[in-house]
Copies of this chain bind each other. A is one copy, B any other.
Amino acid sequence: MSILASSVLSGDRLSLARLLTCVENDVSEGREALDVLFTYTGKAHLIGITGAPGTGKSSLVNQIALSFRKLGKKVAIVAVDPSSPFTGGAVLGDRVRMRDLSGDPGVFIRSMASRGSLGGLAQATAGVVQVFDAAGFDIILIETVGAGQSEVDIARLAHTTLVVEAPGLGDEIQAIKAGILEIADILVINKADHAGTDSTERALRSMLDLAHPVQKIFHHHGQQQTAQVEPRPTNNSESAKELWIPPILKTVAPEAIGLPELIEAIQSHAASLQKSGEWLIRERARLSAEFDLIIQQTLLDKFHAFVPASHIDEVMDSVQNRKLSPREAATAMINLGGI
């Protein structure tokens, strides 16, 4: 085992920070350590927190971290900001966090900004989460800023997904909710001391009824997965009684109102996943999606190693002159490469 990997296992924070950077940058030292450390993963509870801007997610994530610290759990926070090519936003968030969580050796915060390519951020985040898992963090909070497809993909890394809403964020957000509700295990109306909380709750309740007809609940994680895994068929009728109905909880993060109930719901959800076998199904879907991403990236790397850039330039000239369509060009290149 590399010195870096063993230092991380022994709890050294500097080594942990260094390894996270290696993994984020996808350098060989990080890849090798990840392969070694992978054996030690599979223990942490991964919790995704997503939702539209303006819902007070960061503040809520802080409070969740504090609550789990009081229960003696080690907590890692991975703050993912797909829209930011620099770390501006993430750094700002960290500064706010420092007030509550700084100096606590049981907490580690990592901000991740855009990797500039489709899939790159999801892959880097998966790696960072594995490092924290191997390093013995019990709870890993994966917070995404924004509410687009990449955020949904990242939220799918988690065992438990929290979708955070806030009262009175307007009509367009209502429309977005429809899609994002599908992935929610727990719905949180934060800023629940604001006007409009009741009507937000009513709206969520009716959308929830629409999004979660009973038969879909077992399958909703497998449904849209790029991975090849099918959800494990349930083989006893008792399972029907284990259905998880996403609860709607209300919080006011700065005053920690509603936090005990939220932590309880998170823990109940983990217990329910384990009882129904869904914990393993979600883990399998997550690992399969990661496998697919690596396959895709490796094949593309092989292609670029094989086909000279000058050939690609030439064929792209024909595309730009409308002599070949992009698909015809791609087919020609792949046949040329004999792949």
Contacts from A to B (Cβ < 8 Å): 31, 34-35, 38-42, 52-58, 81-86, 88-90, 92-93, 113-114, 116-119, 121-122, 145-153, 169-170, 172-173, 175-176, 178-180, 182, 224, 226, 228-229, 280, 283-284, 287-288, 290-296, 298-300, 302-304, 309, 312-313, 316, 319-320, 322, 324-331, 333-334, 339
Known contacts A40-B322, A145-B175; 4 further A-B pairs (Cβ under 8 A): A53-B176, A54-B173, A93-B175, A280-B320
Q: Which residue of B lies closest to A316 (CB)?
A: B288
Q: How many copies does the complex hold?
A: 2
Q: Quick one: given A118-B153, A146-B148, are A339 and B224 in contact (CB under 8 Å)?
A: no
A226 interface neighbour in B116, B173, B320, Cβ under 8 Å: B116
B89 x A175 contact (CB < 8 A): yes
A175 x B88 contact (CB < 8 A): yes
Instruction: Enumerate chain B residues within 8 angstroms of A226, measured Cβ to Cβ.
Output: 116-118
Instruction: Enumerate chain B residues within 8 angstroms of A122, measured Cβ to Cβ.
Output: 118
A290 interface neighbour in B54, B121, B151, B326, Cβ under 8 Å: B326
Instruction: Enumerate chain B residues within 8 angstroms of A34, measured Cβ to Cβ.
Output: 325, 327
Please report the C-alpha to C-alpha distance between residue A71 and residue B170 in the assembled complex, in whole angstroms: 33
Instruction: Enumerate chain B residues within 8 angstroms of A303, measured Cβ to Cβ.
Output: 295, 299
Instruction: Enumerate chain B residues within 8 angstroms of A324, measured Cβ to Cβ.
Output: 38
A147 x B149 contact (CB < 8 A): no
A310 → chain B closest CB, angstroms: 11
**In this complex, which of A39, A88, A149, A293 has the most chain B Cβ atoms within 10 angstroms of its Cβ?**
A149
A176 → chain B closest CB, angstroms: 5
Instruction: Enumerate chain B residues within 8 angstroms of A280, measured Cβ to Cβ.
Output: 320
A322 interface neighbour in B38, B54, B81, B117, Cβ under 8 Å: B38
A287 interface neighbour in B42, B288, B316, Cβ under 8 Å: B316
A97 → chain B closest CB, angstroms: 13
Which label, helix, strand, loop or mixed, suits the secondary structure of the A interface? Answer: helix
A178 x B53 contact (CB < 8 A): no
Instruction: Enumerate chain B residues within 8 angstroms of A53, measured Cβ to Cβ.
Output: 52-53, 147, 169-170, 172-173, 176
A312 x B228 contact (CB < 8 A): yes
Q: Quick one: given A287-B320, A287-B326, A322-B39, are A149 and B114 in contact (CB under 8 Å)?
A: yes
A84 → chain B closest CB, angstroms: 4
Please report the C-alpha to C-alpha distance between residue A88 and residue B31 in the assembled complex, in whole angstroms: 41
Please report the C-alpha to C-alpha distance between residue A117 and residue B227 in the assembled complex, in whole angstroms: 9
Q: Which residue of B lies closest to A176 (CB)?
A: B83
Q: Quick one: given A85-B179, A148-B147, A309-B228, are A334 and B290 in contact (CB under 8 Å)?
A: no
**In this complex, which of A56, A57, A121, A292 has the most chain B Cβ atoms within 10 angstroms of its Cβ?**
A292
Instruction: Enumerate chain B residues within 8 angstroms of A89, measured Cβ to Cβ.
Output: 175-176, 178-179
Instruction: Enumerate chain B residues within 8 angstroms of A322, measured Cβ to Cβ.
Output: 38-42
Query: Would you list the 3 A-B pairs with minimal beta carbon distance, nearest first?
Result: A148-B148, A89-B175, A82-B149
A56 → chain B closest CB, angstroms: 8
A149 x B83 contact (CB < 8 A): yes
Please report the C-alpha to C-alpha distance between residue A92 and residue B172 in the assembled complex, in whole angstroms: 10
B327 x A175 contact (CB < 8 A): no
Instruction: Enumerate chain B residues within 8 angstroms of A288, measured Cβ to Cβ.
Output: 316
A7 → chain B closest CB, angstroms: 19
